[in-house]
């Protein structure tokens, strides 16, 4: 969990007209003030590269979730061996290159009946993701019994608690995740060392341990980054920010592993913080945890890992930083469900981030002598192995208590019991600042029928919940709840379920925690209910009284009425994908207003096809409508990797550009519009590049986002809008008023911000304003007294549109509608801006 501190000089970076706009990760690296400094940054996804893997990911189907087979152990699989790659960045450090992992695992499988290796997914660039299981041999019947016990723990915890054979015979599951950040290498090497020891040791203690334990290791969660020496995966994403969204194949793979293995303890091996860092974390603690069941194990396990690294005898490992014990609130929190350990906690695990100490990446990788790099990597590998061994010891020693507490977590969920009040001193150092809790609603309802804002969004949300092991059912009949009538087919999330914490953290609005801690490690607000585009209702105290059936997959949502011309309202990325697919087929579409696309009757067959493919719902178009023709946008985009991914996810034709590529002669021939949010400075273009851009701006539109986009707007003289900066690390879910006809039409009443901007001035249309009390959930303090806070943003223009002095159209976003490919319900407003500026 590396940290990027953002905007140290908040309000003092880039002048746009008369206002200062601060640094924003993704625009450039920055540091944010805190009581401690950590990590490598940047936290925001990197600027998109022309060879981004986004298109590759989007072209492939997500596939079904990985699940373990029913055979016994060992389960030997001959892993495919990759060609030697002398450019693998691990080689310089004396660490195992990616191409060396499969041969090593194949050899261990042949040498030991304790080792099973399999492929559980593929990276953004198609590399195999390995899961290694180390345990004593099991017959198929014994393995099936373990599976039944695991399912009983989750599905009937009361019965599991009574089952004495389960208490005696259930193998303790521990999961180690390594190398999720590609340039934090040594977790892989330390894990392989432990695997080899467990596989080959002949002592009775090891044999006995493996007879009562299963050790699961995802050996490298980010092979693309491991090879390239980058934090991000091959699509430019920080996988350790993606667990609530699951946009990347690497995060989906480990999601499936944690659900299928249900570990008692998990470690996520990272680096580099100077001193080894071992969670538990500082407040704010996620309010949906059963935190008493977590901290009672997490703190002593961390202390055991600290003792293990001290025994290594290096001066650099004389102590560890344990944030819960050592740091100030907000320095290293466990609030959002986006990190691997925090996500795993909702599945019953005691999750820890471990940050090994000595930096060997970034500048150190290129400037330090190889001998010093390898000395550091050797110590780091020892630390990783020592923390893993200590965690295995803790899990084995405390097996009965860990089993009982995982059962208890799921039992509380099924029973719908309130969270426990945790007293001061429950563990050493626990005090009022650590006390976070929530009241779980009784149920969420995702309506079917006319009251559902977006059927594709509802289906996507339901499928997402189910994929994360949240129980969803579908009503067999209509029903009334809290005075409202719901049709048959409506979806119900009954919060009396084992993983209610995960269900709630994904669906609740969240909480404004600005006054509780001075800063946050990462984002502090998110909400699938408010930002994913589906209508979702909350029932605080009553559950529906209706027969339901469990949902494995949401019902198909595509439909086309019997009508002449057809209309499709752009509310969801699926709607945009359908429009772009029709444009690809040469269908002559019209734009009725800014949010509705009209399909001619002659293209009904193609409409039926895309309705089935994307689940979109066409309606009958009004008679006599004219509308402006839509042409296929061809976009030159200077954007961050997550935005590129989202644009391609919607089916846009995107050609990545930057100041450097344009100055080097990148050709804009055939491009119809420009998107600017990262990596493009108008003032730094050379004469030839500027002439190309000026030509594009005279014939095509531009859409911008954030500080870089606002700077481009000001320098190119497009809209007379003055950008004003909020605090650079401010982020979260905000309430907005939709006032315009382009972006505002049909948009959600909520948006997302990260380093928020707003616009002042005249000569443009305000599409969206921040509400009078904008922050719904997240962390947003003033950057200075009376400046940069939500009070100053209240009522101000968040998104503006207009015609430029060059005669083209422009839309400027101060919000984050594509952030990390997360707020799906905001995508359509960005797409409408693209169609409007390109028409």
pLDDT in tens, 325-368: 999 999 999 999 999 999 999 999 999 999 999 999 999 999 99
* Helices 827-838/573-584 angle, 10° precision: 40
Reported in sequence order, the residue ranges of 210-336 that DSSP labels E, i.e. its strands, are: 213-218, 265-271, 277-278, 282-285, 333-334
Compute the average pLDDT of residues 587-592: 93
What CATH architecture does domain 642-838 belong to? 3-Layer(aba) Sandwich (3.40)
Q: State residue 594's pLDDT score.
A: 82
Residue 722 pairs in a beta bridge with 760
DSSP 9-34: TTT-SEEETTEEE---TTTS------
Q: State residue 1's pLDDT score.
A: 37
- How confident is the model over 427-441, as pLDDT tens digits? 999 999 999 999 999
Compute the average pLDDT of residues 146-170: 98
Token pair of 611 as six digits: 């309705």
Question: How many whole angstroms separate alpha carbon 470 and alpha carbon 340?
Answer: 17
Catalytic residue chosen out of the listed positions 118, 355, 408, 508: 355
- Helix-, strand-, coil-residue percentages of the chain, each rounded to 5: 35, 20, 45
Among 774, 776, 836, which Cα is nearest to 800's? 836
Compute the average pLDDT of residues 670-680: 97
Residue 703 phi/psi, 5° resolution? -125, 130
Question: Is pLDDT of 16 > 80?
Answer: no
Cβ-Cβ contacts under 8 Å for 138 (sequence gap 6 or more): 72, 73, 146
Residue 355 among the catalytic residues? yes
Q: Measuring CA to CA, how many Å separate 343 from each of 151, 296, 408, 502, 639?
A: 19, 18, 18, 8, 28
Question: Is pLDDT of 28 > 50?
Answer: no
Among 540, 548, 537, 549, which Cα is nearest to 484's? 537
Question: How many whole angstroms separate alpha carbon 226 and alpha carbon 98?
Answer: 7
Handedness of CA 424, 429, 435, 440 (dihedral sign): negative
Handedness of CA 137, 139, 141, 144 (dihedral sign): positive
Question: How many whole angstroms separate alpha carbon 599 and alpha carbon 381?
Answer: 60
Question: Is pLDDT of 537 > 80?
Answer: yes
Residue whose structure tokens are 């003092």: 12
Question: How many whole angstroms separate alpha carbon 463 and alpha carbon 554?
Answer: 6
Out of 2.50.20, 1.25.40, 3.30.70, 1.10.357, the CATH code matching 566-630 is: 3.30.70
Parallel, antiparallel, or unpaired: how do β-strands 628-630 and 619-620 relate? unpaired
Compute the average pLDDT of residues 194-216: 98
Q: How many helices (H) and strands (E) does the chain have?
A: 26, 34
What CATH architecture does domain 54-415 belong to? 3-Layer(aba) Sandwich (3.40)
HSE value, Cβ hemisphere, 13 Å, CA-based, for 674: 35
Question: How many whole angstroms separate alpha carbon 403 and alpha carbon 422?
Answer: 21
Question: 778 and 525 in contact (C-beta within 8 Å)?
Answer: yes
Compute the average pLDDT of residues 236-258: 98
Q: State residue 622's pLDDT score.
A: 85
Distance of CA 97 to the CA centre of its chain: 27
Residue whose structure tokens are 């995508």: 827
Q: Measuring CA to CA, how many Å separate 322 from each of 2, 171, 273, 655, 818?
A: 15, 29, 12, 45, 34
Among 129, 356, 153, which Cα is nearest to 255's? 129
Lowest mean pLDDT of 61-70, 281-290, 813-822, name the range: 61-70
Question: Is pLDDT of 111 > 70?
Answer: yes
Question: Is pLDDT of 574 > 70?
Answer: yes
Question: What residue segments make up the domains of the chain, in order of their start?
Answer: 54-415, 443-550, 566-630, 642-838
State the average pLDDT for the chain. 92
**Long-range contacts for 397-403 (Cβ within 8 Å, ≥24 apart)?**
398/297, 399/172, 399/212, 399/264, 400/167, 401/297, 402/172, 402/264, 402/265, 402/297, 402/350, 403/153, 403/167, 403/170, 403/172, 403/264
Q: State residue 563's pLDDT score.
A: 87
Question: How many whole angstroms separate alpha carbon 43 and alpha carbon 238?
Answer: 8
């Amino acid at each position: 969990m590396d940290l990027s501190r953002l905007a140290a000089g908040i309000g003092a970076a880039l002048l746009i007209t008369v206002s200062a706009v601060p640094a924003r990760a993704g625009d450039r690296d920055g540091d944010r003030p805190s009581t401690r400094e950590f990590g490598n940054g940047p936290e925001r996804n990197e600027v998109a590269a022309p060879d981004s893997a986004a298109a590759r990911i989007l072209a492939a189907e997500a596939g079904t979730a990985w699940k373990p087979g029913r055979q016994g152990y060992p389960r030997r699989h001959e892993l495919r061996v990759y060609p030697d790659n002398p450019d693998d960045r691990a080689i310089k450090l004396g660490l195992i290159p990616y191409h060396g992992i499969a041969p090593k695992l194949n050899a261990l499988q042949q040498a030991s009946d304790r080792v099973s290796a399999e492929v559980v997914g593929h990276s953004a660039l198609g590399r195999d993701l390995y899961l290694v299981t180390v345990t004593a041999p099991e017959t198929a019947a014994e393995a099936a019994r373990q599976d039944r016990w695991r399912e009983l723990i989750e599905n009937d915890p009361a019965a599991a608690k009574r089952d004495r054979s389960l208490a005696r015979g259930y193998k303790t599951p521990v999961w180690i995740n390594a190398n999720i950040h590609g340039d934090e290498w040594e977790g892989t090497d330390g894990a392989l060392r432990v695997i080899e020891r467990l596989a080959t040791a002949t002592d009775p203690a090891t044999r006995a341990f493996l007879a009562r334990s299963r050790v699961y290791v995802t050996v490298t969660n980010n092979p693309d980054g491991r090879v390239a020496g980058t934090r991000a995966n091959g699509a430019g994403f920080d996988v350790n920010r993606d667990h609530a969204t699951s946009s990347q194949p690497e995060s989906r793979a480990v999601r499936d592993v944690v659900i299928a293995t249900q570990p008692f303890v998990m470690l996520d091996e990272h680096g580099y913080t100077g001193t080894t860092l071992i969670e538990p974390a500082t407040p704010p603690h996620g309010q949906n945890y059963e935190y008493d069941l977590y901290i009672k194990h997490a703190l002593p396990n961390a202390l055991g890992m600290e003792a293990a690294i001290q025994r290594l005898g290096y001066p650099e490992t004389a102590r560890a930083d344990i944030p819960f014990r050592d740091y100030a609130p907000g320095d290293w929190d466990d609030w959002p469900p986006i990190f691997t350990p925090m996500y795993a906690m909702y599945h019953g695990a005691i999750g820890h981030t471990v940050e090994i100490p000595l930096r060997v990446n970034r500048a150190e990788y290129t400037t330090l002598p190889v001998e010093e790099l390898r000395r550091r990597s050797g110590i780091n590998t020892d630390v990783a192995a020592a923390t893993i061994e200590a965690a295995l010891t803790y899990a084995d020693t405390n097996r009965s208590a860990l089993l009982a507490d995982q059962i208890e977590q799921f039992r509380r969920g099924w029973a719908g019991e309130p969270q426990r009040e945790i007293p001061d001193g429950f563990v050493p150092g626990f005090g009022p600042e650590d006390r976070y809790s929530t009241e779980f609603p009784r149920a969420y309802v995702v309506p079917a029928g006319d009251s559902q804002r977006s059927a594709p969004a509802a289906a996507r949300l339901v499928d997402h919940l189910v994929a994360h092991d949240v129980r969803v059912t579908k009503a067999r009949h209509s029903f009334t709840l809290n005075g409202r009538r719901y049709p048959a087919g409506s979806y119900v999330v009954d919060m009396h379920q084992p993983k209610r914490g995960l269900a709630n953290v994904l669906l609740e609005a969240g909480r404004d925690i600005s006054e509780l801690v001075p800063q946050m490690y990462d984002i502090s607000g998110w909400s699938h209910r408010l930002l994913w585009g589906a209508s979702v209702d909350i029932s605080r105290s009553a559950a529906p009284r209706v027969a339901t059936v469990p949902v494995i997959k949401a019902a198909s949502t595509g439909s086309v009425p019997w009508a002449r011309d057809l209309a499709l309202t752009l509310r969801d990325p699926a709607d945009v994908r359908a429009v772009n697919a029709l444009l690809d087929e040469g269908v002559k579409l019209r734009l009725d207003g800014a949010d509705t696309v009209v399909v001619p009757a002659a293209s009904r067959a193609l409409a039926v096809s895309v309705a089935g493919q994307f689940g979109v719902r066409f309606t009958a178009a009004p008679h006599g409508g004219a509308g402006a023709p839509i042409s296929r946008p061809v976009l030159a985009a200077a954007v961050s990797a997550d935005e590129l991914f989202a644009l391609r996810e919607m089916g846009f034709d995107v050609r990545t550009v930057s100041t450097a590529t344009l100055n080097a002669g990148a050709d804009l021939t055939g491009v119809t519009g420009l998107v600017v949010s990262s990596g493009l400075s108008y003032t730094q273009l050379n004469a030839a590049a500027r002439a190309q851009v000026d030509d594009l701006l005279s014939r095509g539109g531009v859409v911008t986002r954030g500080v870089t986009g606002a700077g481009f707007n000001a320098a190119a003289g497009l809209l007379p809008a003055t950008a004003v900066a909020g605090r650079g690390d401010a982020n979260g879910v905000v309430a907005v008023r939709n006032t315009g006809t382009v972006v505002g039409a049909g948009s959600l009443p909520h948006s997302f911000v990260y380093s928020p901007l707003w616009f002042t001035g005249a000569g443009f249309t305000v599409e969206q304003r921040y509400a009078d009390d904008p922050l719904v959930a997240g962390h947003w303090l003033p950057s200075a007294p009376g400046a940069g806070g939500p009070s100053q943003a209240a009522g101000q223009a968040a998104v503006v549109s207009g015609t430029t002095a060059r005669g083209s159209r422009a839309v400027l976003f101060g919000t984050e509608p594509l952030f990390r490919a997360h707020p799906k319900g905001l995508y359509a407003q960005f797409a409408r801006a693209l169609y409007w500026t390109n028409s």
